[in-house]
Amino acid sequence: MGRPSVTVDVGRIEHNARTIVELCGGHGISVTGVTKAACGQPEVAEAMLRGGVPQLGDSRLENVERLRAAGIAAPIMLLRVPMLSGVDEVTRLIEVSLNSEITVLHALSDAALRRRSVHDVILMVDLGDLREGVWLDDVISAAGEVLRLPGVRLTGIGANLTCYGGVIPTEENMARLVGFGEAIEATHDIELTWISGGNSSALPLIAVGAMPARINQVRIGEAILLGRETAFGAPWPGTHQDAFVLRGEVIELKRKPSVPVGIRTQDAFGREPHFVDRGDRWRALVNIGEADTDVSGLSPIDPGLRVIGGSSDYTVVDVTSAEPAIQVGDELGFALSYGALLRAMHSRYVDKQIVPWRQC
Ligand SMILES: *Cc1c(COP(=O)(O)O)cnc(C)c1O
């Protein structure tokens, strides 16, 4: 059956992971390989491990279960702060979790003790991106409360940037994170193992040697999966951007005007698309839609093609300049944005095809 498919080139993912691990390793930074955009696909995790990451990270317990079911025994970090209702599973499946809620930490501690174990936690500090994390004045006292819980071990602090508020890591805000770590150490007379400084947006700072020395961990997804840093959205030197390619089939091909005919309102998603009159164009409808991916995040591999829109079940591609000409039944390939990758890997309508390992 002609379903859309994502090809997953595990050799390229391994290569990307190795490139990032070597870069970060040169600056004393350990890389946690983040599998969440790949829906915890075990082959992706295995490729990251072969590339040298010592630990995996995912945001969903379902994905972690998938990794464990595939026999992956590497330590796994839970990236989304745990649910109060999920602490038992967290202590069962996970070695270390990112945390910001004292109530949840109490429950995690109790759950770990019931298992006669101790659960490692990293306390998240909000440096201004306004997603998860303890806010400024509360950091030192929150750390003190965690230290009083017998079932959890405070192994470090961390911060996440650029995901919600779009704030990028700088020498200044990273130094502020280190400052919080050192204040916790001084106040509570402890040593933190990890200061977990961020995600793929941290790479530019690391590469120029400006990351403060005490930052010794980053959690990297996009730069390994798609070969891009996320502070400026640039391809990362020495990595592949096409480890994932989404492919679909042309199911209608017609020459039509480039501007809709009639009185217009919003599209099916409440958007108001903008049309440029380029005269009559050859338009291909592809069997990929918003139910399969984020259509706005698709970039045709063939430079002669242009995505001009989409709806639940179709992507519309201007194929007028394609060489050779496109025909009904042809397969078109697309590179993916982070959002497009995330949705394609999670869509049950999209087949996932693992490209056998090869040297690259
Ligand atoms: C998703 C996530 C990451 C990885 O982000 P990338 O931009 O894909 O590198 C790191 N940390 C946390 C807390 C996350 O949720």
Per-residue pLDDT tens over the stretch 69-95: 999 999 999 999 999 999 999 999 999
Mean pLDDT (whole number) for 252-279: 91
The number of the ligand 1 atom at minimal distance from the alpha carbon of 223 is: 9
Query: Which positions ≥6 away from 223 have C-beta within 8 Å?
Result: 16, 20, 200, 203, 229, 230, 236, 239
36 catalytically annotated: yes
User: Is residue 99 lining ligand 1, measured as CB closer than 6 Å?
Assistant: no
pTM of the model: 0.96
b/e 296-311 (16+ beta carbons within 10 angstroms → b)? ebbebeeeebbbbbbe
Q: Which of 36, 254, 256, 352 is catalytic?
A: 36
Is the pLDDT at 359 greater than 80? The verdict is no
Is the pLDDT at 268 greater than 90? The verdict is no
User: Is residue 226 lining ligand 1, measured as CB closer than 6 Å?
Assistant: no
Q: In this structure, what DSSP letter does residue 14 have?
A: H
Query: Which positions ≥6 away from 359 have C-beta within 8 Å?
Result: 11
Mean pLDDT (whole number) for 12-39: 98
* Token duo for residue 234: 């640039």
283 C-alpha to center of ligand 1: Å? 37
User: Is residue 230 lining ligand 1, measured as CB closer than 6 Å?
Assistant: yes
